[in-house]
Structures are given as structure tokens and as C-alpha cells.
Structure 1
Amino acid sequence: AEKPATFHYAVRLKATGPVRGYDRLEIDTNIRVSNIRGLRVNGQSVDFAVVENEPEYFIVDFPLIDGNDDLLEFTFDLPIFRFGSTFSGRAFNRLWPEVPQILEPGNAVSFGPEDIVELSGLSVAIPRAQVGKLVGDIVLSSRLLTPNGDGINDEMEIFFNLLQLTLPTPVIFDLYDLAGRKVYTVFGEDHRLGPATHRWDGRVADGQRVLPGLYVWVLRVVADSFEERHSGTIAVVY
């Protein structure tokens, strides 16, 4: 499966205005995050609580940070993300929850020799080689299907990750014989950004098992302006 993308987030306080300090962060995301960890203030670990974790944002509470130039750091994972995403956010002092403090992009801290100053900010740039890519890893549980009822390779699991999509998009998984004739559409439905899994038990539209042999699978993502295709082979034996 696609490996989660890990992000390091840092906020440095520049104390100005009537509301001093903050003890809550709300960060915008494009999918539910996982494994929020390692929250530190000025290099020291502190207790924190994940108050909300929704597909569009998450909220973290911690002790009040009110010293000018205080540095908050933490790490989180996303199962998949859209390049160009902006992790904008707001800081709150819970005594004045109606007054958000907007986070400004910048280089709050260096994360080490691989941290590029020009890329530090609230958005994620897409590498040139991956422009337009809509599908991450495609994983088949087995390339050998033996649907004979013995409990071993009786069905195949198809896993894939969709990238960079902003709206539900048609995804179709077709099977072809070696002569190029379409045998069966395993699934064809709209999917959103993120991971998805389907299963196939070797049966076609009439409920009969597909004939033994070697087949070509084609996964298509039908975007508005183009169609992306991926393909491979599977063998059916029984």
C-alpha cells in the first residue's frame, strides 16, 4: 500500500495585539490525518490532546504558549495527499475562542540539512516528474486467482490510492483477454481522493466463473480533461 506522507509543522509566536498567546491550533487538511505526535514547545515535550480530527481539519489543544518567539513543533501523517495542498491554520487562545490568530507562511525553524528554505511554508509543491499523476500505488493481493472454493486465492483484493482529485471521479477496472476483447468490468464507480479497495471473486456478469487463462487488467481514472490508465496481468487457474 502507499506509504503515508509525513509532515513536520512548526509555529513561532510573534506576540502582538490584544490577545496574547495560544493554546489551540486548527489546521486545514484534505483528508483525515493520522498519528499526530511529538508535540514540543521550545524543544520540550508537552502533553496535548487531539480535540477533533475530521477529513477537512484537525484541532489540537496544549498548554498556553505566550512567550514571544516561543516555538511549537509537531508531526503528523496523511494516508495520501494532493500536491499543492495548503495546510493553512488558525491559533486560538481558549479564553477568547471567537478571536482566531491566522498562521502566516514562513520558515519558523530549520528541520535539518534536507529542509529547503524556499519550500518552507503552508503549501506542498508537486515534483515536476509527478505533475498530472492521479494514481499512487496499485496493489493486487495476488496475481494468481484460483476460484475453486478451497479458501486459497479464491478472490483478489485490488487496492489503489487516488491523488490530487478535488471531486468524485470515475474509476473503472476492466479485464481483457490476450486478444484484446473485454471480458468483464470488475468495478466502475466514482471515487474521491484517498485509498480504495475492491474485491473480485472470479465471476463475471452472468455469475459464472471466468475461464482459466491469462488476462490483462486495465485501471482507468476518467478526469475532466484526460484519462489516466494503468495495466497489468493476472492468471486464473482452477
Structure 2
Amino acid sequence: MSAFRAELTKMRTVRAVPSSLLATVAVGGAGAVVFGRALRGQTPFDPIFASYYGLTLAQVALVVFGVLVIGGEYATGTVRTALLAVPDRGRFHAAKAAAVTAVLAVVSLVTVVVAFVAGQWALGPQGVGWGDPHTYRAAVGAWLYLVLIGLFAFGVATVVRTPGRALGLLVPLLLLGSQGLGNVPRVRTVTQFLPDAAGSFIMHMAGVPEDPFVPRAYGPWQGTGILALWALAALLAGHLALRHRDVR
């Protein structure tokens, strides 16, 4: 527990961390208003995804958070000091991962609520309420999506160690990979299994029939499961890298 509290304290001392978390909420809410206004009056459309489409941009701020939490320590060399305080590398990684998860859970919850309220307000009479079908499922899915994407970024950054390398890998993957290449029919069968493509599927109102442009070979919850596997694999790889590799 002391290692967990220490990790939370360290996060507050990194100047870019609070900024990235605030940016997540701000971009999520602003994106919901922009896309809600753009879709207002159109039919047919998915009113729930109108709120959450902006999360594809807000996730970049969470990726920056996940990368800086560990990558920043490698970049400055303070990871060596941290390991002197907590020599057990498994415990050190577990405490940091737990602290990252806790912060991601809170920030993601606030972002999802703000995005939903802002997006439905922007849609006006075409908006839906919390009691409408699929709303809670999409909200829970959006929350899980942000948490898991953040953990995936944390795991990748633990493996590659430097923030520049981690962001250079993750940002193109999340913004240009499945979203860009996913529109190419010949590669769509592969890109649908990339982290963001799989995890974001649950944020739609319904299943495959509501998303004919990018058909999936799985359902909404299965897509979340695929993203969870990506995050778990990244965390495990980071754990092994930290335990068995020189931190210099």
C-alpha cells in the first residue's frame, strides 16, 4: 500500500500528467459537442456514438499519461532511485500499474459522463437519455475502452522505455492504423482486431447491423475482450522487461 501511495504522489509531481488528464475530459466533452452538432438533423445516425466519437481524440491524452508515468522515469533516470526505494521490481511494477489503473478509472468515468451529456445536449431533440436501450452498455464500454487503452499505453511504454519511442509507436497505431487502414477493404479483416478498432465497437448503439461500413467478425463485448487481451499482453511484456532488463 505504501508503494501504491508513493506512485500516486509521484504522478502529481509530473507537470504534464495533470494537464493530460484534464485534456482528456476537455477533448472528450468538446468532441461530443462538435460531432453532436454536425450530426444534428441527419438520419439515420447513431445518437450514442455521436457522444463517444470524440473519445477517439481524447484517448491520445490518456495515452500520453500512460506513457509519461513510466517513460518519464526512464527518461530522467529517476527509475533507478525508485527501484532503490522498492527493490522488488515485481512489487514496483504492480504498485505503479495499480496507481495508473485507479487514476484511469476515475478520469475515464468523468470523461464518459461529460461526453454523453454534452453530446446529447448538442443533438437536441434527437438525443437519447440514460434510460434508453443500449445507453448503459455503451457507457460502460466507453469507460472500459479508455481505461484499457491507457493501460495498453503504459505497458508499451514500460517495454520501449523512452516516451518518444512509445508515442511514436502508439499515436500512429491508434490514429492512423485501424481508423485509417480500417477503411481499406483488403486490410480491414486484419485491422478490425487492432486495439482501438476492437474496443470502440461497443460504444455504438447496437451490434454489427448498426455499423455496416466496417463489419466486424465479433460482437461488442467480444471487441472489448480483444482490447483487454491487448492491454494484458502489454502489461505482461512490460512486467517481464522491467524484471529482467537493466534499467540503465
Higher relative contact order (CA 8 A, sep 6+): 2
More helix by percentage: 2
Rg (Cα) greater in structure: 1
TM-score of the pair, normalised by structure 1: 0.27
Q: Which has the higher strand share?
A: 1
